[in-house]
Structure 1
Amino acid sequence: MKTVLITGGNKGIGFETAKLLLNKGLFVYIGSRDMEKGDEAVKELNNNGFQSVKAVVIDVTDLETILSVKSIIQNEQGKLDILINNAGILGNFPQSATDVSIEILKDVYETNVYGVIRVTQNFLDLLKKSDEPRIVNVSSSLGSLTLHSDPSYPFYNVKPFAYNSSKTALNMFTVHLAYELKDTVFKVNSVCPGYTDTDFGNHIGTGKVEDAAKRLVKYALIDNDGPTGRFFSEETNPNTDEIAW
C-alpha cells in the first residue's frame, strides 16, 4: 500500500485530496497544526468508510513537529511514497510592492517557502525508499512571472505581492529539486489547484474543491513516464495543463 503525507490536510483542498487518495487505496497521513482538527477530519473520513488514515501534528514552521511525524511514518511504514506540500497561508494585507511590510513577507515565506523546503528536505530519505516517489508542491498560477506580465491573464490585477512572490520562489524550488533528482525515479512538480471555493480564499473562489483535488491527485499518481520539473494549471490551460513559469 502506498503512503502519502498531506500537509494542511485537515480541510479544504487538502482534505478532499485525502479523500480521493483513500478511495484509490492509499494510506493517508493528514497533517494538521492542531491535533483536534486533524482528529475531526479523520473521524469524518472514518464515518464515510475510510480507515487507512491517521492524523499527525505537523507545523511546517516547526522542525520538531516535522521530525516527530517523520519518526511516526518511519516506524509505521518504513517509507513515504508521496509528499503533497499543501499547507500555505495568504498572509495579512496590504501586500503591494510599495508598502508591504517585511514582517508580512517573512510570515508568508516562513510557511509557503521555507516550510515546504524544511518538510521536503527532512522527508527525502523516506521518499528515496519508495519505488515511485512523488512530490507535489501546491503552487498557484499567481506565481507565474510570465502570466503576471501579460495584461490578458484573467488574474493580471490580482497582485498580493507577498503571496504571489512566495509561490514564485516555491516554483524555483521545484525546478532546482527536480533537476537535482533528474537521474532518479522521483517526479517533482508544481501544481495550481485553481481559484477554489475554500476557507483559504474566504469562499470567493469559483472552482469546486473536488476539481482542485483531482488536479493534485493527477500529479501525485503519475507513472514513471510522467513529467517532472514542470508547472501545471488546468484552470489556466485546460488543453495541456502546463503553464509558463
Structure 2
Amino acid sequence: METGAVPNPSEKRVAVVTGGNKGIGLEVCRQLASKGVAVLLTSRDETRGKEAARRLHASGLPDVVYHKLDVSDPSSAACLAEFVKNKFGKLDILINNAGVIGATAQIDTTAPLKDVLVGKNATERLQWLLEHSTETYEEAEECLRINYFGTKYVTEALLPLLHASSDGRLVNVSSNYGLLRYFSSEDLKQELNNIEKLTIERLDEMSRLFLCDYKNGQLKSHGWPADAEYLAYKVSKALINGYTRIMAKNFPALRVNSVHPGYCMTDINYHSGELTAEEGAGSIVMVALLPAGGPTSVFFYRYDVAPVL
C-alpha cells in the first residue's frame, strides 16, 4: 500500500515488538494480537522467544510469529527487516521495547522478595531497590548500546517498511527517568529540548561524551545525572525521548511517540513495581493504536501527554 493511501479496514495491521518474550513486551504482543494485529514477537533469546510465541498460540492467539533479534546488532536488525519485507511487504507498528537497566541489584534471594517489600509503597520500593543496586562502566556502556543505539538500529532498518504503511506508527518505550529534570546542566537540558536544532548525530555524540565522563568521573561536573543510581538508564531514555521527537519532525507522515508505562512489576526491577506488566502494556498499546491523525512527537506519561522537562 502506498504511503498516504486510505487504510483498508479489512487489511490486518502488522506490528513488530522488540523484547517481546517476557514482561511488558510479552503483554504488548498479547494485547495487540487480541485486537487483531499480526504480531512479530522478537527477542535475543531464541528459546524463550519461541516459547513465548507458543504460549500465545495456546491461549488462542495464532497470529503471532517469532523472529530472533539482537537490537544492538545492525545486521540482526537488517535480517528482521528482510523477513518483514518478504512476509508482509510493510510494517504498520514498531514498538521499541527492548532495554536493560544498566545496573545490578545485590539482593539476598534466600528470603522471598515480596516479604521484604510488604507494606512499602511504590516510592519506598524504588528507594529500597536503588539502595541495593550498583552500576559499572561496562553496564553503562551496555545500557547505551541496547537502549539508545538498539532503538536507533531497529528503527533505521524498518523505517522503509513503516513508510510502506498507510498509517505507520513508531512507539519508543521510555521512562520518567528520562525527564530532563535529572540533568543539572541547563545547557544540556536546553539542547536536548531544542528539537529544531537537535540532530541524531548530536545524540550519538552525547552518548559518547557521557560514557567518557562516566569513565573519568566527571558526570557531576559536566551536568549529567550523577546524584543517584541508574545514571546510564536516565541518559539513555533522555536520548530516546530526543530521538523520538527528531524522527517525528523528520517524518511527519508517521505517528512517532514515546511512552512511560509506569513502574511495573517485571524482571528488570525484581518485580518491585506497583503496576502489573499488563497494566503497563495497556498504555503502550493505546499509543500504538491511536486514531489516524493523532498526536505525534509526544511523550506520554502512561495515558497522558506530558512534558519531557
TM-score normalised by the chain length of structure 1:
0.88
Q: How does 1:19-98 map to 2 (within 5 A)?
A: 19-93=30-104
Instruction: State whether residues 46 and 68 of structure 2, in contact with CA within 8 Å, keep that contact through their aligned partners in structure 1.
Output: yes
Instruction: State whether residues 17 and 214 of structure 1, in contact with CA within 8 Å, keep that contact through their aligned partners in structure 2.
Output: yes
User: Quick check: which has more Rg, 1 or 2?
Assistant: 2
Instruction: State whether residues 49 and 66 of structure 2, in contact with CA within 8 Å, keep that contact through their aligned partners in structure 1.
Output: yes
Q: Residue 175 of structure 1: which of 238, 241, 245 is its match?
A: 245
Q: CA deviation at 1:224?
A: 2.4
Q: CA deviation at 1:101?
A: 4.8
Question: Structure 1 pair 100/199, CA: closer, same or farther in 2 (3 Å)?
Answer: closer
Q: How does 1:154-233 map to 2 (within 5 A)?
A: 159-182=229-252, 184=253, 186-233=254-301
Q: Which runs of 5+ in 1 are unaligned?
A: 150-156
Please report the RMSD computed on the Cα atoms of aligned residues, expressed in angstroms: 2.1
Give 2:306's aligned residue. Answer: 242
The alignment covers a number of residue pairs equal to 230
Question: Structure 1 pair 197/158, CA: closer, same or farther in 2 (3 Å)?
Answer: farther
Q: Does 1:132 align with 2:167?
A: yes
Q: Does 1:121 align with 2:162?
A: no
Amino acid at match of 2:234: N
Q: Which runs of 5+ in 2 are unaligned?
A: 1-11, 106-129, 185-226
TM-score normalised by the chain length of structure 2:
0.70
Question: Structure 1 pair 147/130, CA: closer, same or farther in 2 (3 Å)?
Answer: same
Instruction: State whether residues 298 and 305 of structure 2, in contact with CA within 8 Å, keep that contact through their aligned partners in structure 1.
Output: no
Q: Does 1:9 align with 2:20?
A: yes
* Deviation larger for 136-145 or 222-231: 222-231
Identity %: 37
* Rounded Cα–Cα distance in structure 2 between residues aligned with 1:59 and 1:93: 21
Question: Structure 1 pair 68/215, CA: closer, same or farther in 2 (3 Å)?
Answer: same
